Amino acid sequence: MYKVDLNSDLGESFGAYTIGMDAEILKFVSSANVACGYHAGDPLVMEDTVRLAKEAGVAVGAHPGFPDLMGFGRRNMVCTPREAKAYVKYQLGALTAFTKACGLPLQHVKAHGALYNMAAKDMALAAAIAEAIAEVDDRIILLGLANSLMIKAGKEAGLRVASEVFADRGYQADGSLVPRKNPGAIIHDTDEAIARTIRMVKEGCVTAVTGETVPLSADSICVHGDNPSALAFVKNIRARLQAEGVEIVPLSGIV
């Protein structure tokens, strides 16, 4: 029996500002990455998002990012591993108050935006994130980019790790993502994207932009719910995965 998790970034609204169609996307995913107030989210939004996730039967994880609300955590910042470690602890702790109050465990942590991308390629940063989690609660799963240093760091820290793949992104021969500015970075054809994803889940590999077959763990697929067409894609990929005999389950049922 094949299994995969569908994860989405949620709880990104802030104060009077709304982003995302959280209530809708929660019907289709199995794990929610909830923003923790640094790059997005605020305490009321976190509380609401955790409750909505619980009602939808979706597992909750923390989505810590850089302290850069103005840049939505998407801008690289030079911070020390010690800073990154403390930022991750702070944010996962903050979210844990809401999950505990709802009677939910904190299933996982997935770094957000620039922190995610930087840590994928920077072992000191990746280790800082993994150790932050391990020091607070080593039952929490680390969700990171497949084949990246985040996965390596998570294992070294003694954590259960889950590998994330992207349906609509091209991969390089070394298993890394094709940078967004390069040709082949985005798979524009929906059917092709879904077919590639099904192969990743069932066969554990993907065809690189240069033609090689690259091994890839696909524990979780990242999907978006910030606009109607993204939502339609999620429904589509979910249905196609299920039609292929792939069960959609939270990370805790996989790793």
90 lines the binding site for a second copy (CB under 8 A): yes
| Least distance to a second copy, CB of residue 80, Å | 9
Strand partners, 9: 33
Distance (Å) of CA 187 to CA 22, 142, 206, 215: 25, 26, 13, 18
In the block, tokens 């879904």 appear at 194
Look up residue 5 and give its DSSP letter. Answer: E
DSSP bridge pairs for 165: 221
> Is beta strand 141-145 parallel, antiparallel or unpaired with respect to 59-63?
unpaired
> Judged by CB under 8 A, how many residues of this single chain contact a second copy?
46
Looking only at residues 92 through 111 of this chain, which bind a second copy when binding is defined by CB under 8 A? 92-98, 100-101
User: By CB under 8 A, is residue 40 in contact with a second copy?
Assistant: yes
Nearest-5° Cα angle at 64, 63 to 66? 140
Give the number of other Cβ atoms within 10 Å of residue 14's Cβ: 18
Nearer residue to a second copy within complex by CB, 48 or 212? 48
Stretch binding a second copy (CB under 8 A), from 14-22, 152-160, 197-205, 244-252: 14-22
Among 52, 114, 115, 237, binds a second copy (CB under 8 A): 114
Map residues 127-156 to x or -, x wherever contact with a second copy holds by CB under 8 A.
Answer: -----x--xxx-------------------
Task: Give residues in contact with a second copy (CB under 8 A).
Answer: 14-19, 37, 40, 42-44, 46-47, 67-72, 74-79, 82-83, 86-87, 89-98, 100-101, 114, 132, 135-137
